[in-house]
Structure 1
Amino acid sequence: MRTKRLAIVGCGKLANIVVEAFIKGLLPDYKLIGTFSRTFSKAEGIAKHIQDLETSYKCILCHSIEELLDLKPDYIVETASPTALRELALPALINGSSIITLSMGAFADVDFYENVKKTALKYGTRVHLASGAIGGFDVLRTVSLMEACLVTFETKKGPNSLRNTNVYNETLQTEERRVFEGDAIEAITLFPTQVNVAVAASLASTGPKNMKVSIDSIAGYVGDDHRIEIKSEQVHAIIDVYSKTAQIAGWSVVNTLRNITSPIAF
């Protein structure tokens, strides 16, 4: 099997987990050939890590998305933001590059979602939604295909993770409060980086408009707890995942990359 050419867009902590896995030899079927980030120094740091390995190829530090696409990567890992995915998706797919993304919130826009699907189909490329800080997409998809169902998504967060959002105020530091109730589209509009997994779960089941989302802020809480519940006539399932840090999201990208090239996929 030909080694896959891999590039990274968005070079923060989650992207560095992918790089860590690459350096450890957990992604032997890939060459990391390019990086791009709005914060140039972060992309530069990753490129330098790869250069220090003295590989037989160069990891190119790119100054634009266009420059990165010129490298013709087979796969692009995107860990930046839903806004970044909106800018990247169509040009990358047309370029022949498939995408592994954690910014599924962009797909709450139904028109964008459908356009991405049509483009990927036309150009023989794919978009892989990494599971992020949650799991159970296989169960959600299976039950929703089988029969009518109801799906809810509940999240517990510490108040500090809600800073720089419209719902935050200092009283959250001492109180427990439900700060949001609505559908997945409304949730990703208010919290563009915090509830990507809710949109992904809705896409795997009943759709962003039909998934009810709630967010509770708990004083002193560390990490995130995501709870998905799906009910149908024959099935009742609960997927509840607590994660102290966001590292699980980065490692879910590693798992997705491994599944792409593995003869057996989990």
Structure 2
Amino acid sequence: MKKYSLAIVGCGKLAHIVADAINNGLLEDYKLIGAYSRTREKAIAIAEKVNPETCAVCGSMDELLALKADYIVETASPASLKEFAFDALKRGSNIVTLSIGAFTDKDFYEKVQVVAREHNSKIYLASGAIGGFDVLRTAALMGNCTATFDTEKGPNSLKGTSVYEDTLQTEKKQVFKGDAIEAINLFPTRVNVAVAASLASVGPEKMKVSMTSTPGFVGDDHRIEIKNDQVHAVIDVYSSTAQIAGWSVVNVLRNITSPIVF
């Protein structure tokens, strides 16, 4: 049976889910050949978990790209994706990414499509902490469509952002309202899911996004609503941790090689 070579960029908790899936036989069509992280110890941990003899711990992005893996899993950041995407696609590597916020950059989005087509490679957008891409895309294709994305978070998850204030610990408050582009600019790593939903439907400029902070709330609750003349769909996903995002990458990788695709 053919084994597809796999490399990982960004070796945090979500990458460990992919590594565990390999070890547990859920990704039997793949062989991990490389790992790269800005913190080298994290890449070493991934390699040691899977197979240190066959998984190279790469000291730079160029070193990882030189492996020419069939698939590169990216769980780092939108900036990281934009840094290596073109070179990877030109080398024939496909990318599975969670950093969908990068695609609010129109120039990047358009150029990625051109480069991927020219080199017969693809970028797969993992659903992360949401779902329902199929119904979102279907409803949008039907035309005359509107969509909203509302998310609820705990105040501690907003620390380090410009919207955080101590009063959020005791007061429920809507901390953001705007479109998906404005949202990802304000929260570069926290609303990739909103961008994903917008790309699957009405586009980042038309996706209306709101974020509410609730004292004591744990996890994330994302609610997507899409409407056209014939369809009204609501997708509401609560997750207590970010693990669902890592498992969505595992699902994409399984779909890529499966004879039946969900």
- Bin of the TM-score, shorter chain as denominator length: over 0.9
Q: Which residue is equivalent to 1:27?
A: 27
Q: Which residue is equivalent to 2:99?
A: 103
Equivalent of 2:258, from 254, 257, 262?
262
AA at the equivalent of 2:255 = N
Deviation at 1:50, TM superposition (A): 2.0
RMSD of equivalent CA atoms? 0.8
Deviation at 1:117, TM superposition (A): 0.7
AA at the equivalent of 2:87 = P
Whole-angstrom distance in 2 between the partners of 1:160 and 1:82:
22
Q: Where in structure 1 are there 5+ consecutive unaligned residues?
A: none
Q: Which residue is equivalent to 1:45?
A: 45
Equivalent of 1:200, from 177, 182, 196?
196
Q: Where in structure 2 are there 5+ consecutive unaligned residues?
A: none
Q: Which residue is equivalent to 1:152?
A: 148
Output aligned runs, 1:163-174, within 5 Å.
Answer: 163-174=159-170
Deviation at 1:2, TM superposition (A): 2.2
AA at the equivalent of 2:8 = I
SS state at 1:91 partner:
helix
Q: Which residue is equivalent to 2:17?
A: 17
Output aligned runs, 1:78-89, within 5 Å.
Answer: 78-89=74-85
SS state at 2:59 partner:
coil
Whole-angstrom distance in 1 between the partners of 2:203 and 2:106:
9
Whole-angstrom distance in 2 between the partners of 1:124 and 1:148:
33
Whole-angstrom distance in 1 between the partners of 2:196 and 2:178:
16
Whole-angstrom distance in 2 between the partners of 1:121 and 1:192:
27
Deviation at 1:94, TM superposition (A): 0.6
Report if aligned partners of 2:22, 2:50 keep a CA contact under 8 Å in 1. no
SS state at 2:241 partner:
coil
AA at the equivalent of 2:256 = I
AA at the equivalent of 1:241 = V
Whole-angstrom distance in 1 between the partners of 2:104 and 2:63:
28
Q: Which residue is equivalent to 1:75?
A: 71
Tell me whether 1:122 sits opposite 2:118 in the alignment. yes
Tell me whether 1:244 sits opposite 2:240 in the alignment. yes
Tell me which stretches of 4 or more aligned residues in structure 1 moved more than 3 Å. none
Q: Which residue is equivalent to 1:62?
A: 58
SS state at 1:252 partner:
helix
Whole-angstrom distance in 2 between the partners of 1:2 and 1:192:
37
SS state at 1:205 partner:
coil
Deviation at 1:88, TM superposition (A): 1.5
The normalised TM-score by structure 1 is 0.97
SS state at 2:6 partner:
strand
Measured against aligned partners, the alpha-carbon deviations of 1:63-92 in whole angstroms (never above 9, x if no partner) come to 111100111100000000011111021111
AA at the equivalent of 1:133 = A
Deviation at 1:148, TM superposition (A): 1.2
Measured against aligned partners, the alpha-carbon deviations of 1:136-181 in whole angstroms (never above 9, x if no partner) come to 1110101111121000000000001101100001111111000000
Whole-angstrom distance in 1 between the partners of 2:257 and 2:198:
27
Whole-angstrom distance in 2 between the partners of 1:40 and 1:171:
38
Deviation at 1:58, TM superposition (A): 1.1
Measured against aligned partners, the alpha-carbon deviations of 1:196-247 in whole angstroms (never above 9, x if no partner) come to 0100110011100000000000000000000000010000000000000000
SS state at 1:156 partner:
strand
AA at the equivalent of 2:227 = K
AA at the equivalent of 2:48 = K
Aligned length in residues: 262
Deviation at 1:51, TM superposition (A): 2.4
